[in-house]
Amino acid sequence: MDTARLLSISGFLVFLLGAGVAAQTPFSPQLQRLHDVLNLRVDQDGGWQTYVRSTAADPEEAARRRDASQRMANLSAPDRVDLSIQMMKADLASLERRGAALKIFYASLTPEQKATFDRETIRPPQ
Spatial distance between the Cα atoms of 77 and 88, rounded to a whole number of angstroms: 16
For residue 16, CA distances in Å to 11, 24, 122 come to: 9, 13, 9
Cβ-based neighbour number of residue 94 at 10 Å: 18
* Segment 101-116 mean pLDDT: 97
Closest by CA to 54, choosing from 31, 37, 38, is 31
Spatial distance between the Cα atoms of 104 and 47, rounded to a whole number of angstroms: 7
* Segment 2-21 mean pLDDT: 47
Say if CB 47 and CB 105 are below 8 A apart: yes
- Structural domain boundaries of the chain? 3-18+25-121
Record the pTM. Answer: 0.70
Distance of CA 62 to the CA centre of its chain: 13
pLDDT at residue 22 in the model: 42
pLDDT in tens, 60-100: 888 988 999 999 999 999 999 999 999 999 999 999 999 99
pLDDT at residue 124 in the model: 80
Give the burial string for 110-125 (b: 16+ CB within 10 Å, else e): eeebeebbeeebeeee
